[in-house]
Amino acid sequence: MLQPMSRTLLPETVERYVTREIAHETDVQRRLRAETAGMPHAGMQIGADQGALLALLVRLVSARRAIEIGTFTGYSALAVASALPADGKLICCDVSDEWTSVARRYWNEAGVAERIELRLAPATETLADLLKRGGGETFDMAFIDADKSNYDAYYESCLKLVRRGGVIALDNMLWSGKVADPDVHDEDTDALRALNAKISDDRRVDACLLTVGDGVMLARKR
């Protein structure tokens, strides 16, 4: 379900400092953010600081193959693909032709379109297809940022697809702070709260819930 979300829990001045003074966007990233800002659901786009984090992760694990679940207008994919080597590959999962057609324009402008394979289908289907075709343990990194009630299924599939030492990043794991309030119960909040608890006890990974943006759970496969 699409819900408006607060993208950050930081005070506005700190948020502005982190995203505008410290995180450096490219010209293409800035223009994509500006175009997306005029669209409905613009708040779904990740922040500049999160884009910088994703690019850093790509480089930290020397990623060549990555998966993204939830592409929207393409900002996070642009950050990941730009950090991949020229022969790297990013598989993007989304269901919206309308939103991802914006993404394609900016990927072309940035010269990274050839590194990106967009699959328009429910992500559970795309992930199952990748596994069926022998994709297990062939990816270095995964970024999960789509429908929250399916996050656990996405996490389990990504754990199979990512190699040992690879990383899985999950966005919105603080869900505007609602996961921390035991009195809040709705489908998405309950799903994310349960998944935070599961990952923090999961012996298959080393994990840390980062308070960047709306909360990024970072899990490294053991």
Ligand X SMILES: C[S@@+](CC[C@H](N)C(=O)[O-])C[C@H]1O[C@@H](n2cnc3c(N)ncnc32)[C@H](O)[C@@H]1O
Residues that bind ligand X (CB under 6 A): 44-46, 70-73, 75-76, 93-96, 99, 122-123, 145-147
Closest to ligand X by CB, 99 or 155: 99
Closest to ligand X by CB, 18 or 146: 146
* 63 close to 143: Cβ distance less than 8 angstroms: no
Closest to ligand X by CB, 38 or 182: 38
Nearest to 95 by CA among 124, 65, 136, 67: 124
Closest to ligand X by CB, 4 or 87: 4
Nearest to 146 by CA among 182, 95, 99, 181: 95
Q: Rounded to an integer, what is the distance from CA 193 to the centroid of its chain?
A: 18
Compute CA distances 207 → 46, 143, 167, 193, 202, whole Å.
21, 14, 9, 15, 8
Tally DSSP H helices, then E strands, for the chain: 8, 7
> Residue 27: which residues within 8 A CB-CB, separation 6 or more?
none
How far apart are CB 1 and ligand X at their closest, in Å? 9
How far apart are CB 208 and ligand X at their closest, in Å? 20
Closest to ligand X by CB, 65 or 148: 148
* 88 close to 80: Cβ distance less than 8 angstroms: no
28 torsion bin: left (phi>0), alpha (psi -120 to 50), beta (else):
alpha
How far apart are CB 67 and ligand X at their closest, in Å? 11
How far apart are CB 53 and ligand X at their closest, in Å? 12
Amino acid at 220: R
Closest to ligand X by CB, 63 or 93: 93
How far apart are CB 149 and ligand X at their closest, in Å? 9
How far apart are CB 201 and ligand X at their closest, in Å? 26
DSSP helix/strand/coil, 6:
coil
